[in-house]
Structure 1
Amino acid sequence: MASALKNLSDYNSDNLVDITEKKFGLLVAEWNKAITDTLCKGAYETLIKHGAKPENIIRNTVPGSFELSLGAQLLAQNSDIDAVICLGVVIKGETKHDDYICHAVAQGITQVSLKYNKPVIFGLVTTNNEQQAWDRAGGKHGNKGVEAAATAIHMLGISA
């Protein structure tokens, strides 16, 4: 569903798995840092709200969204990590770079998730302009970081 039709910060919190002993890798791209930091804050606060311990949330950064796949793999290969949440922003520019980056990240994150049989969440904001990115980082469409954290918790419930 398009985020214009649903607030990214709204999710069903019924029957969430207990995450008090779960360990999360929070992987954040530094490109568009102000926006990705806001996504990270939303994800972090959502995990804490549902019982994650601060010491069980490991935050790592990568230079840009393209590097999320390898960063996710490095976190996922750690058997202590139960889920990895990848957060980044790709804003369309004058070239088609966004198509290549988004496609590569989607495939890479999917491969990591399947390889390590654990949730690796695609929290990539892909927009046409910066304002649309802010709208999805706590603006009028909610926060994609909140949605990504809620997705990780839900996925842990089905893989438990």
Structure 2
Amino acid sequence: MAQSSESSTLLDITGLDDMDNPRVAIVATEWNDKIVAAQIAGARRVAGETGAVISHEIYVPGSFELPFACKAVWESRESLTEAPEAIIAFGAVIRGGTPHFEYVCKAVTEGILQLNLSLPIPVIFGVLTLDTEAQAWERLGGSHGHKGEEAMIAALKMIKMKNSL
């Protein structure tokens, strides 16, 4: 299994602290809330290190609802004082004994993909798709890095890339 530490530039935040207070919205699930809270805590750490602003933090019941909420955040930008320059969708889907896991994972993946192709800002896929809860903790400070931190780094790098065009 690939680990983020094997990609040296992936976690490099050099140059992200000279951006002008980039704004990132977080849309997160209430389902698997302890896991999602750890993802958000990691994103906040990176935001603090780089001067990024978390412009919004919105919660939805589950991962299936993430694409709709991300789109709604963007569509409401005109009424927001600080429109986001990127959105991170955080959630965790843990495999159970029914096909529900596959349906939810496919739907949220395709939904986030569609948003990336249709919105003028990036939507970062921060949904953990897991066989067990233990795998979540391996990805939130364990042997597989911290996916919350990585999601914020990805959001900031995408903002910087877009601003450089």
Instruction: Indicate yes or no: 2:135 matched with 1:132.
Output: yes
Kindly provide the amino acid, as one letter, of the partner of residue 136 in structure 1. R
Residue number among 100, 104, 114 corresponding to 1:101 in the alignment = 104
Q: What is the rounded CA distance, in whole Å, between the counterparts of 1:28 and 1:150 in structure 2? A: 17
Q: CA deviation at 1:136?
A: 1.1
State the match for 1:51 in structure 2: 51
RMSD: 1.9
Q: TM-score, normalised by structure 1?
A: 0.88
State the match for 2:162 in structure 1: 159
Paired residue secondary structure (1:125): strand
Q: CA deviation at 1:57?
A: 2.7
**Could you report, residue by residue, the CA deviation over 1:82-115 in whole angstroms, capped at 9, with x for unpaired residues?**
1100100011111121111111111111212222
Query: In terms of Rg, which structure is larger?
Result: 2
Q: CA deviation at 1:14?
A: 3.0
Runs of at least 5 residues in structure 1 that lack an aligned partner in the other structure:
none
Instruction: Indicate yes or no: 2:71 matched with 1:73.
Output: yes
Q: TM-score, normalised by structure 2?
A: 0.85
Instruction: Indicate yes or no: 2:119 matched with 1:116.
Output: yes
Which ranges of 4 or more aligned residues in structure 1 deviate by more than 4 Å? Answer: none
State the match for 2:41 in structure 1: 41
**Are 2:122 and 2:158, in contact at CA under 8 Å, matched by a contact in 1?**
yes
**Could you report, residue by residue, the CA deviation over 1:6-57 in whole angstroms, capped at 9, with x for unpaired residues?**
349x60223337443322111111100011000011011111211124xx43
| Alignment size in residue pairs | 155
**Are 2:88 and 2:155, in contact at CA under 8 Å, matched by a contact in 1?**
yes
Q: CA deviation at 1:60?
A: 0.7
